[in-house]
Amino acid sequence: THGVERQAELRSEASRAAERLVPSAPPRPGPKRARSPYLVQRLRQTPEENLFNHVKFHLIKDAIEALPLATPRILDLGCGLQVSRSYLDALGLRFEYLGVDYEEAFGPDLVADLLDLASLPQRLPWSPEVVLVLDVLEHLHSDAEVLSDVLGSIHALMPEGAWIVLALPQMYRLD
């Protein structure tokens, strides 16, 4: 019992620390018709400000700042509720941002399915210098060949010299 209480106390301390370091995020977009009701519900119930995101986005910010880019153009594929934009902005990174998701209910800048990226390059306002694919691939397909095709499509839309930041699996899949 003491161990369980101590774990709860540590989680609470970590949460309070993250709250002090990360300003409140803007309100989440209002409801729209969801293609993936479970995912929409789950993401809306998951606090954006948590220790996992705090650490992940500090590392991503540091990696982007190390690149020779004055104001990086960031393409966030599978952006969901655009937590990347909120965190990187709150951490003081100067950047241009475009969030892409197939789920219109999340309110992305562009609606596109990552399983079919053929038309995406023509819809982008600029060539990305950094592409974020964070906690996305595990939601697309279980077939490794399909995922390989998706990665090939992502590579094809990236200009020479662009960087990709890829992370998986999503935290809630571990519970």
pLDDT along the chain (175 residues), means of 10: 48 43 39 56 68 88 96 96 95 97 91 90 95 87 87 93 86 48
Q: What is the pLDDT of residue 139?
A: 77
Tokens found for residue 129: 């210098």
The contacts of residue 147 (CB under 8 Å, 6+ apart) are 137, 140, 141
Q: What is the pLDDT of residue 65?
A: 97
Q: What is the pLDDT of residue 170?
A: 54
Q: What is the pLDDT of residue 4?
A: 45
In contact, 49 and 18? CB cutoff 8 Å: yes
Q: What is the pLDDT of residue 46?
A: 66
Angle at CA 132, nearest 5°, toward 79 and 34? 15
Q: What is the pLDDT of residue 7?
A: 46
Tokens found for residue 130: 């950094």
Q: What is the pLDDT of residue 50?
A: 77
Classified as helix, coil or strand, 152 is helix
Q: CB-hemisphere CA count at 13 Å for 77?
A: 28
